[in-house]
Amino acid sequence: MGKKFLRFEFLLLFAVFIIATCGLVYELVAGTLASYLLGDSVKQFSFIIGVYLFSMGIGSFFSKFFHKNLLNTFVEIEILVGLIGGLSSVVLFLLFESVEYFQFILYLLVFITGFLVGLEIPLLMNILKDKVEFRDLVSNVFTFDYIGALLASILFPLILVPKLGIMGTSLFFGMINVSIAIALCFLLKRELKNSYFLKVKAIFSFIILLSVFIFSDVILAYSEGKLYGENIIYTNSTPYQRIVLTHNKSDYRLYLNNNLQFSSADEYRYHEALVHPVMSIAKNVKHVLVLGGGDGLAVREILKYKDVEKITLVDLDQGMTKLFKTNKVLTDFNKESLNNKKVTVINTDAYIWAKSCKEKFDVAIIDFPDPSNYSLGKLYSLNFYQTIKTILQPDAAVVIQTTSPYFAPKSFWCINKTVMQVFPQVDAYHAYVPSFGEWGYTIAINGFGTTFNDVNRKAEGLKFYNYQFDRFNYFTNDMISNEIEINRLDNQILVRYFDEEWGKLQ
């Protein structure tokens, strides 16, 4: 009898330990997620902990209304905590989009978890009060409770999040929670009423958690992308793309559809290399065309030349250009370039626009996303460059962001070779951008009135580009690829190269 009772007590205390660990894990998950999305981690953690402890208090208060079947209630709560706590992060992840009511759901989940955990400890004490001496009971329950809390707070940042991720962690602990309930169902089946029904419930909940856990990577990929580890300070889904801005220490990063667009720490390298060679080589720079580049960072560089009279920027996504005209953090980066009176922003499809454009430009800066699909591939086709040629002045200069010659040499030289079919002078160059790696550009001149080594004008105060073009157009053997086809609309060979090359890296 004594031995059996010992097991009974030990089991329940172990359950306390697990509940405490899990409870704190859910709280930490909620706090982390809240600071991811809403920023200001001090405030978020503080509020979450406050609400959590408060709701535990409410739970404890309500525990006195439970009189019958305490053990059954205890197991049921155990299942419920596991299910709600475990799924909380999944729910929160999927609700990232709608920020206003995200907060409500967040605190509701924190409250429910806290409430349930708050119920459990008094409940347990009530179950054990007639079987153990009160003094021992209180000391044991709280000992286990606090050990669990310590364990959780150490494991969470050091092991759980790095290994399992936020969502995996909460689901994993949800499963632990529920498996304790399952274990209790089996081990205490004599003490429990209707243990069969409880078992079914517990196992069913476990299966739900397990299956979500298996899919958690996919959900994570969908909702969080590669942004893990950085604080998301802004998200917006436009009809064309998902814009995510993250902040980590002094570095802001912008992601479009989970692809890094720029890092504030080194974007000057990318944009100086994109803009200044072409601006210094072109015969004239009165009227500059920018295709893509809705972040206004290339425009910021162009505006450094006083003889620029007009800049036309064509970007498909109004959501993007609007954001970079109005968001304070972002206009600090582009120096309000899109609000400059020299700049005209046109939100339309660049290809269609170019087909019907009547103006002629002195410089064209083409900064489209990488050709990762057949739609984007059209913007790197022979016909596209032929179309661009029709809207350029003689001796106009063109630059095209051409992906990485190191990671994707075939893609890089495919674009270069395609451009060669259209323009009389074509060259390529590259620059090292730490957050991207080795990055490359194709540059062309629409005539013979100037050369790549000419410097017709300079801007002051550049951090990276030194107007020595011949220092940038040398390619080592590992960045060269031969036997490349020309990219046409009817073969879209570039998309295949790109997929083959970047596919290898994923």
Partner 1 sequence: MKNGENYSKSRRSFVKGIGASLLLIPFLQFCSDKIMHLLLRLSGTNHLLGHRLWIKDFPKPTSQIHIPYLIVGGGISGLSAARQFDKKGISNFLLIELEGHLGGNSSNGENKYSKYPLGAHYLPLPNFKDKELLQFLEEEKIILGYDTKGFPVFDELQLSFAPDERLFYKNNWQEGVVPKDGNSANQDLDFQRFFKLMDAFREGKGNDGKYLFDIPLHLSSEDTKIRNLDKMTMKEWFETNNFKAEPLFNYIDYCCKDDFGLGIEYVSAWAGIHYFAGRKQDASSDKKDSVLTWPEGNARLASHLKKYTHKKTLKNHLVYDVKVKNNKVVVQAFDDIKKVSVEIIANKVIMATPQFVNQYLIKERKEFTKEFHYTPWLLASLTVTDLADNFSFPLSWDNVIYDAKGLGYVYDQHQSLNQVQTKKVITYYHSFSSSDLKKSRKELYKKNKDYWKQFVFDDLKIAHPDIEDCTEEMEVFLLGHGMVSPAPGFIFGEAKRNASKSIENKIYFAHTDLSGISIFEEAFHHGINIVNQILDETALDS
Active-site residues: which are they? 367
Burial class (CB within 10 angstroms; exposed 0-12, middle 13-18, buried 19+) of 288: buried
**39 backbone φψ class: left, alpha, beta (φ>0; ψ -120 to 50):** left
Nearest to 63 by CA among 4, 125, 20, 5: 125
- Of 2 and 503, nearer to partner 1 (C-beta) is 503
CB of 388 to partner 1, least distance (A): 13
Q: Residue 113, interface with partner 1 (CB under 8 A)? A: no
- Of 183 and 219, nearer to partner 1 (C-beta) is 219
Q: Residue 466, interface with partner 1 (CB under 8 A)? A: no
Q: Residue 352, interface with partner 1 (CB under 8 A)? A: yes
- Of 53 and 489, nearer to partner 1 (C-beta) is 489
d(CA 347, CA 340): 16
DSSP 236-274: EE-SS-EEEEEEETTEEEEEETTEEEEETTTHHHHHHHH
User: Which member of 153, 383, 456, 473 binds partner 1 (CB under 8 A)?
Assistant: 383
Site for partner 1 in 71-100 (CB under 8 A): 94
Q: Residue 410, interface with partner 1 (CB under 8 A)? A: no
CB of 320 to partner 1, least distance (A): 13
- Of 482 and 506, nearer to partner 1 (C-beta) is 506
What DSSP character marks residue 436? T
d(CA 64, CA 86): 26
User: Which member of 344, 375, 451, 466 binds partner 1 (CB under 8 A)?
Assistant: 375
User: Which member of 110, 316, 363, 398 binds partner 1 (CB under 8 A)?
Assistant: 316
Strands of the 251-256 sheet, one edge to the other: 231-237, 242-248, 251-256, 259-263
User: Which member of 240, 406, 432, 464 binds partner 1 (CB under 8 A)?
Assistant: 240
Give the type of residue at 102.
F
Q: Residue 481, interface with partner 1 (CB under 8 A)? A: no
d(CA 142, CA 65): 22
Q: Residue 417, interface with partner 1 (CB under 8 A)? A: no
Q: Residue 500, interface with partner 1 (CB under 8 A)? A: yes
Nearest to 302 by CA among 457, 454, 468: 457
Yes or no: say if 294 and 317 are a contact pair by the CB < 8 Å rule.
Answer: yes
User: Which member of 189, 310, 360, 488 binds partner 1 (CB under 8 A)?
Assistant: 488
Q: Residue 378, interface with partner 1 (CB under 8 A)? A: yes
Q: Residue 477, interface with partner 1 (CB under 8 A)? A: no
- Of 250 and 356, nearer to partner 1 (C-beta) is 356
Site pattern 199..238 for partner 1 (x: CB under 8 A) = ----------------x--xx-xx----------------
Place of tokens 């992601």: 255
Q: Residue 203: how many CB atoms within 10 A of its CB?
A: 16
User: Which member of 38, 80, 382, 444 binds partner 1 (CB under 8 A)?
Assistant: 382
Strands of the 425-433 sheet, one edge to the other: 343-346, 310-314, 287-292, 361-367, 392-401, 437-445, 425-433
Yes or no: say if 266 and 433 are a contact pair by the CB < 8 Å rule.
Answer: yes
Q: Residue 483, interface with partner 1 (CB under 8 A)? A: no
CB of 494 to partner 1, least distance (A): 10
CB of 383 to partner 1, least distance (A): 4
Yes or no: say if 276 and 466 are a contact pair by the CB < 8 Å rule.
Answer: no
Which residues of the shown chain bind partner 1 in the complex (CB under 8 A)?
94, 215, 218-219, 221-222, 239-240, 316, 349, 351-352, 355, 373-379, 381-383, 485, 488-493, 495-496, 499-500, 503, 506
